[in-house]
Amino acid sequence: MDSYEIAVIPGDGIGVEVVDAALPVVEAAAADAGFEIGTTRFDWGTERYLDRGEMMPDDGIDRLRGFDSVFLGAVGHPEVPDHVTLHGLLLPIRKGLDQYVCKRPNVLFEGIESPLRGYGPGDVDFVVYRENTEGEYASVGGREHRGFDHETAVQSALFTRRGTERIARAAFEAATEREGHLTSITKSNAQAHSMVFWDDVVAEVSEEFPSVDVERLLVDAAAMDLIRRPHEFDVVVASNLFGDILTDIGAQITGSMGLAPSGNVHPGDANPSMFEPVHGSAPDIVGDGVANPLATVLSWSMLFDDLGETAAADALWTAVTDQLADESAPRTPDIGGSAGTGNVAADLRSRL
Ligand code: NAD
Ligand code: IPM
Ligand code: MN
């Protein structure tokens, strides 16, 4: 029997709640499909930071390298500044394991009411390919001069040819397997260095993919059009920051942050990829037992798909879509129900 070793980092807040609720469902899907997953749980997160002054051990990233995949819940705690926790755990893993493709599907499922008037099941179905290792998150040469009259802070962005080409190529490849439509999002009217470079690289890479039709949008217009005409998007490619922002819009127009899955993918076998829900640690609902576990289950589906275990991936995805389409099934408050995290997970388990 095939077996996979998965590192599980529940992290903070509802990250722990959704990871714990999803795990039995995920293990059952694996068993049904004839393989096993061995999970190693890491207590990395803000509790550890408050206790020992570090989010993860110094060799944390190296310890993840031996795993087939990594699953992460969420990071962020009201008692510690976010830039400390995120730069101590999530962001260094994405970068250190060179997970340069952040893949975020946005699908409006049957049984989910979009806030957009007139949009029904299947009307929204696009995937964002977010650059995940550089861009506005590179923090090269950052400086603060604080504590005097004219304080300054410098936050640079780094766009390399290698980094831009490889995310563009990944997005074009995805478009050839979908509807052949790619939207590249920049701000090249204002950001005349980085974004003009991005536009030029995308134009060059597009020559390798003559069957893909390319649309260019400025990010402000894209924010508008994701709300005005989301049905026209297929594959979206964007920088680290723009991809981050636009995927929260994507989550909301498809129902909830609690439904949005994500993969931080390192294509190839050199490093493991890491899967996680798009949402954060949600301090406003932590401990209430109402966090939606579906984004986490869908992220596990993406993880199984990445391992080539398509039967288990499909079983999880189908269990979620069946549950959402079933009016009598339990659902969490974010999508209009009153059920708890555990009820939703137990119902999913019974659908496998
Ligand atoms: P958030 O995603 O945690 O929450 C935004 C809103 O969505 C909240 O109202 C929350 O209750 C709701 N929500 C999120 N996930 C939900 C779920 N599964 N079910 C039901 N409702 C859900 O974003 P935020 O409030 O901006 O950030 C909170 C903390 O999380 C901060 O510390 C932030 O830095 C961190 N964060 C971490 C990640 C990550 O680990 N990948 C992502 C985003 C934010
Ligand atoms: C996400 C989050 C992170 C990001 C934050 C918490 C650093 O918003 O995964 O979308 O910006 O990538
Ligand atoms: Mn985000």
Residue 294: is it exposed, middle or buried by C-beta count within 10 angstroms (0-12/13-18/19+)?
buried
Among all bound ligands, the one having the nearest atom to the CA of 92 is 2
- Spell out the domain ranges in the chain: 1-105+256-352, 125-253
**Residue 326, token pair as written in the block:** 């079933």
248 catalytic? Reply is yes
- CA-closest candidate to residue 32, choices 318, 293, 265: 318
Query: Is the per-residue pLDDT at 191 higher than 90?
Result: yes
123 catalytic? Reply is no
Q: Tell me how far the alpha carbon of residue 284 lies from the centroid of ligand 1, in angstroms.
A: 9
58-98 tens-digit pLDDT: 999 999 999 999 999 999 999 999 999 999 999 999 999 99
Lowest mean pLDDT among 31-45, 132-146, 182-196, 218-232: 132-146
Given the CA of residue 74, which atom of ligand 1 is nearest to it? Answer: 40
The architecture CATH gives domain 1-105+256-352:
3-Layer(aba) Sandwich (3.40)
Fold of 125-253: Isopropylmalate Dehydrogenase (3.40.718)
**How far is Cα 29 from Cα 283, in angstroms, rounded to an integer?**
30
Q: Tell me how far the alpha carbon of residue 4 lies from the centroid of ligand 2, in angstroms.
A: 27
347 catalytic? Reply is no
Q: Tell me how far the alpha carbon of residue 318 lies from the centroid of ligand 3, in angstroms.
A: 26
- CA-closest candidate to residue 185, choices 168, 163, 205, 169: 168
ipTM of the complex: 0.99
Q: Tell me how far the alpha carbon of residue 242 lies from the centroid of ligand 3, in angstroms.
A: 10
Query: Is the per-residue pLDDT at 243 higher than 90?
Result: yes
This prediction has a pTM of 0.98
Same CATH fold, 125-253 and 1-105+256-352?
Answer: yes
**How far is Cα 70 from Cα 307, in angstroms, rounded to an integer?**
11
Among all bound ligands, the one having the nearest atom to the CA of 240 is 2
Query: Is the per-residue pLDDT at 179 higher than 90?
Result: yes
Given the CA of residue 293, which atom of ligand 1 is nearest to it? Answer: 18
198-238 tens-digit pLDDT: 999 999 999 999 999 999 999 999 999 999 999 999 999 99
187 catalytic? Reply is yes
Ligand 2, pocket residues at CB < 6 Å: 86, 90-91, 244, 278, 280
